[in-house]
């Protein structure tokens, strides 16, 4: 991934572990077993949220999801890892790259990059107004 991290003094280093790992279930897929892109989007959002919480404990909301690409299909039974890396720290926002990799159920040992995207998350106060990520 491209590292655009700014002023990373207060950011925790990237972890090699996925933010979340999920088994794809039939309810998440079309009839022929391909998983809905929207399901993966939801999980990408959750992975970014987990990464934001790892960086700093705040209330967060997602303000944007950009540059999402699906490279290869994901199938029911695949075990999918969502790797999240904070690449930009703003005043109230964190920009997080999420890379999605699937362990193929039908091809043991095969790990495939299936999607990636950029999620921007904003720290908010009790009223839902932006607040500094680090105070």
* Min CB(124)–ligand COA separation in Å: 5
Regarding 44 and contact with ligand COA (CB under 6 A), the answer is: no
CB nearer ligand COA, residue 20 or residue 122: 122
Contact flag: residue 50 with ligand COA (CB under 6 A): no
Cβ closer to ligand COA: 100 or 119? 119
Nearer to ligand COA by Cβ, of 37 and 128: the residue is 128
| 89/8 Cα distance (integer angstroms) | 7
Q: Give how far Cα 132 sits from Cα of 32, 100, 124, Å.
A: 46, 29, 8
| Residue 104: exposure state from Cβ atoms within 10 A (0-12, 13-18, ≥19) | middle
Segment contacting ligand COA by CB under 6 A, of 10-18, 56-64, 77-85, 108-116: 56-64
The yes or no reply on residue 119 touching ligand COA (CB under 6 A) is no
Residues lying near ligand COA in the complex (CB under 6 A) are found at: 61-64, 90-93, 120, 122, 124, 128, 130
């Amino acid at each position: 991934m491209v590292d655009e991290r700014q002023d990373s003094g207060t950011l925790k280093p990237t972890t090699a572990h996925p933010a979340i790992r999920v088994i794809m279930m039939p309810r998440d897929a079309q009839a022929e077993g391909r998983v809905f892109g929207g399901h993966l989007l939801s999980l990408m959002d959750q992975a970014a949220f987990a990464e934001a919480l790892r960086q700093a404990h705040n209330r967060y909301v997602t303000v944007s999801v950009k540059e999402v690409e699906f490279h290869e299909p994901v199938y029911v039974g695949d075990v999918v890892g969502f790797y999240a890396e904070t690449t930009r720290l703003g005043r109230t926002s964190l920009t997080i790259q999420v890379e999605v990799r699937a362990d193929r159920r039908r091809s043991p040992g095969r790990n495939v990059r299936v999607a990636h995207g950029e999620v921007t998350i904003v720290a908010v106060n009790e009223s839902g107004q932006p607040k500094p990520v680090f105070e």
